[in-house]
């Protein structure tokens, strides 16, 4: 009996240690999280979309910093101090879902963010992260965390042809340092390219703007060969028009665009349209 208890204790300690080593954060991240919980605790009955907007506005002026997720080996990174466009949207969605659940804890937030960021919600090394945003959309729609709405809005197929990571592997730290990961990335790209995805073309944004909602998350489609999405943001209404709330590399912080979404896209020569998802 003593031996059995000892084995159970050892396994528990090992699992606890393993779980901790997969999470990277600083004390300030917990403090920011608790501050958000305190501010938004009374909004639990709001919709997930409304909570995303509230969480997004909390991060106004937060510095834009790229590559905050790049750790070796792959870990669950929680960084609320510095955001890029994708981590901004991910954190806002995870926060909204955590607040909506009523379980305002660090562990709940971590579990939500892990489910959003990784294929099947499981960390299995670098290839398990959802690197392509069209893949992020597909997986999180399948998990029931968001709903793809581009088809019902514009019913325009988007021709997927992603291969940028495998053909430009020297641009990615993990792939440059470990070529054994490239086949897994390449296989994922092939799988992505078999899917049917839809988008709203850039020249039809005004036509369908009335069907877009605050709290919708968008990926900006691109003409860059091998890529699907070049930027991510959250839609908000300003003076009766749709604008983009996002972590901007140009502004180097989280902002709401001065221009409407239509104008913002028209000024970006690489933008071809948007994929839209609605939080559940």
Q: What residues make up the domain containing 173? A: 2-279
d(C-alpha 227, C-alpha 194), whole Å: 15
CATH of residue 102: 1.10.3670.10
Is residue 128 within 8 Å of residue 261, measured between CB atoms? no
d(C-alpha 88, C-alpha 80), whole Å: 8
d(C-alpha 114, C-alpha 129), whole Å: 9
pLDDT of residue 18: 38
Q: In degrees to the nearest 10, what's the CA dihedral of 204, 205, 211, 214? A: 170
d(C-alpha 224, C-alpha 163), whole Å: 11
d(C-alpha 93, C-alpha 99), whole Å: 10
Is residue 61 within 8 Å of residue 245, measured between CB atoms? no
Scan for tokens 């991240």, then name that residue: 29
Per-residue pLDDT of the chain (280 residues; tens, 9 = 90+): 444 433 333 333 333 333 444 899 999 999 999 999 999 999 999 999 999 999 999 999 999 999 999 999 999 999 999 999 999 999 999 999 999 999 999 999 999 999 999 999 999 999 999 999 999 999 999 999 999 999 999 999 999 999 999 999 999 999 999 999 999 999 999 999 999 999 999 999 999 999 999 999 999 999 999 999 999 999 999 999 999 999 999 999 999 999 999 999 999 999 999 999 999 9
pLDDT of residue 136: 98
Q: State pTM to two decimals.
A: 0.92
Number of domains forming the structure of the chain: 1
pLDDT of residue 245: 99
CA 27 from chain center: how many Å? 22
pLDDT of residue 276: 99
CA distances 125 to 43, 74, 111, Å, are: 36, 5, 17
d(C-alpha 33, C-alpha 232), whole Å: 22
């Amino acid at each position: 009996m003593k031996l059995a208890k000892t084995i159970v204790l050892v396994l528990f300690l090992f699992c606890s240690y393993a779980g901790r080593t997969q999470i990277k954060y600083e004390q300030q991240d917990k403090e920011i999280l608790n501050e958000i919980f305190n501010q938004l605790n009374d909004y639990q009955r709001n919709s997930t979309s409304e909570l995303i907007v509230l969480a997004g506005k909390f991060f106004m002026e937060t510095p834009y910093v790229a590559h905050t997720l790049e750790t070796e080996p792959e870990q669950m990174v929680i960084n609320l101090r510095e955001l890029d466009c994708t981590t901004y949207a991910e954190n806002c969605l995870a926060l909204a879902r955590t607040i909506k659940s009523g379980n305002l804890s660090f562990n709940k937030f971590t579990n939500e963010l892990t489910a959003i960021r990784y294929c099947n919600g499981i960390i299995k090394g670098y290839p398990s992260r959802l690197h392509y945003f069209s893949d992020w959309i597909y997986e999180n729609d399948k998990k029931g965390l968001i709903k793809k709405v581009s088809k019902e809005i514009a019913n325009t197929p988007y021709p997927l042809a992603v291969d940028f990571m495998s053909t430009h592997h020297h641009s990615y730290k993990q792939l440059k340092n470990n070529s054994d990961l490239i086949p897994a990335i390449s296989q994922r790209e092939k799988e992505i390219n078999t899917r049917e995805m839809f988008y709203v073309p850039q020249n039809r944004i005004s036509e369908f703007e009335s069907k877009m909602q605050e709290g919708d998350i968008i990926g900006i489609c691109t003409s860059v060969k091998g890529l699907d999405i070049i930027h991510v943001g959250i839609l908000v209404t300003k003076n009766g028009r749709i604008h983009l709330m996002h972590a901007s590399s140009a502004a180097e912080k989280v902002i709401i665009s001065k221009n409407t979404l239509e104008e913002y896209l028209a000024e970006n020569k690489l933008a071809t349209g948007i994929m839209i998802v609605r939080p559940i």
